[in-house]
């Protein structure tokens, strides 16, 4: 990519897209295009094609998606698979038809089988059953990365994919009904502290292991791949390090300075027991994460306090 190349970031106001925009600007890219949902509904094929025809972006980061945590995925699976397929299909096909030079599709580590060998290598895709609680979202993401792979295979389109691990950071979703575990716990501990509550409830047993990547690291990895990778196989983006949900809750408790106790609600689902990505492929290409977990949580909590209207 040239510094003046026209770059379209789909989903530029979300957690992932906004971080990619920040990273691109920091690296000196000056011609970045973004459209809000009200300006461009990516589920509308005609509108998407009109946008690509008029704007003629040269490079595309496909970060737009309908996302959510265990509760949201479990209760609205039809919405998750249908809306994500619509978004992907429209953007990828338009990118091909209007001769985009390169596209990066972002997936999620939930595409891998529930009981995958650890750490998870890219080649383990489609080697077993998916986690039922987010199967709909995972199937949509698998379809997206396969679509990029097949457009490259059949037509030579330079469409690549990456699979980030669990992300967190500025612009995260802190809604307790639809958020992932990290922002949900930050909000729970903050509100418990403000309201002088005696305890915070954490879903599940606290035993599952999770890997967390700060979204600014993820964005840096995405731009690195756009600049340096043209392979057909998708690439994992993560830290290669993991922590139990219990330990995560303890770190957040310390960062927020909440003095009450932790209570684990074992009636709630744990989700996948372990989900650690093998990031050796990306490291061999020359990229590695920089932001350590505690520092990243501090950064997220500062952002939450500055942007939360119910402090």
Note the pLDDT tens digit of each residue in 183-241: 999 999 999 999 999 999 998 999 999 999 999 999 999 999 999 999 999 999 999 99
Note whether 160 and 225 are within 8 A (CB). Answer: yes
- Parse the chain into domains and list their residue ranges: 7-169+212-240+276-290
How confident is the model at residue 270, as a pLDDT?
84
Binding-site residues for NADP(+) sit at: 11-17, 106-109, 141, 164-167, 180
How confident is the model at residue 311, as a pLDDT?
42
Looking at every residue in the chain, the average pLDDT score rounds to 94
Lowest mean pLDDT among 69-73, 97-101, 170-174, 297-301: 69-73
Binding-site residues sit at: 11-17, 106-109, 141, 164-167, 180, 188, 203, 210, 270
Distances (CA, A) of 142 to 105, 112, 162, 243, 284: 11, 9, 11, 26, 24
137 in catalytic set = yes
Note the pLDDT tens digit of each residue in 100-115: 999 999 998 889 998 8
Considering only CA atoms, which of 19, 6, 222, 14 is closest in space to residue 100?
A: 6
How many CB atoms sit inside 10 A of residue 120's CB? 25
Binding-site residues for substrate sit at: 188, 203, 210, 270
Considering only CA atoms, which of 6, 121, 90, 110 is closest in space to residue 54?
A: 6
What's the CA gap between 203 and 92, in Å, rounded? 37
Please tell me the class of the 7-169+212-240+276-290 domain.
alpha beta
Angle at the Cα of 104 from the Cα atoms of 179 and 283, rounded to 5 degrees:
85
Considering only CA atoms, which of 152, 226, 225, 162 is closest in space to residue 1?
A: 226
Among the listed residues 112, 137, 289, 301, the single catalytic one is: 137
Report cis status (omega within 30 of 0) of the bond before 14. no
């Amino acid at each position: 990519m040239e510094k003046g190349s026209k770059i379209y970031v789909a989903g530029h106001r979300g957690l992932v897209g906004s971080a990619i925009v920040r990273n691109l600007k920091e690296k000196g890219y000056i011609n970045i295009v973004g459209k809000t949902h009200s300006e461009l509904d990516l589920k509308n094929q005609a509108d998407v094609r009109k946008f690509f025809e008029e704007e003629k972006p040269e490079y595309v980061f496909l970060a737009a998606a309908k996302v959510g945590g265990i509760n949201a995925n479990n209760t609205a699976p039809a919405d998750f698979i249908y809306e994500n397929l619509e978004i992907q299909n429209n953007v990828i096909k338009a990118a091909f038809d209007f001769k985009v030079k390169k596209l990066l599709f972002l997936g999620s580590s939930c595409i891998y089988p529930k009981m995958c060998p650890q750490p998870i290598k890219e080649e383990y895709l489609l080697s077993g059953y998916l986690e039922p609680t987010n199967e709909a979202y995972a199937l949509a993401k698998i379809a997206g990365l396969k679509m990029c792979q097949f457009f490259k295979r059949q037509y030579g389109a330079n469409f690549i994919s990456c699979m980030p691990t669990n992300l967190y950071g500025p612009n995260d979703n802190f809604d307790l009904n639809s958020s992932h575990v990290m922002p949900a716990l930050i909000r729970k501990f903050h509100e418990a502290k403000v309201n002088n509550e005696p305890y915070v409830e954490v879903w599940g047993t606290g035993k599952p292991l999770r890997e967390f990547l700060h979204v600014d690291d993820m964005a840096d990895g995405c731009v690195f791949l756009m600049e340096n990778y043209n392979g057909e196989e998708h690439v994992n983006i993560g830290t290669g390090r993991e922590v139990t949900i219990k330990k995560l809750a303890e770190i957040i408790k310390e960062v927020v300075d909440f003095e009450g106790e932790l209570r684990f609600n074992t009636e709630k689902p744990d989700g996948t027991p372990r989900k650690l990505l093998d990031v050796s492929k990306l490291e061999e290409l020359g990229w590695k994460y920089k932001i350590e977990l505690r520092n990243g949580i501090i950064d997220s909590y500062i952002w939450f306090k500055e942007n939360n209207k119910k402090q």
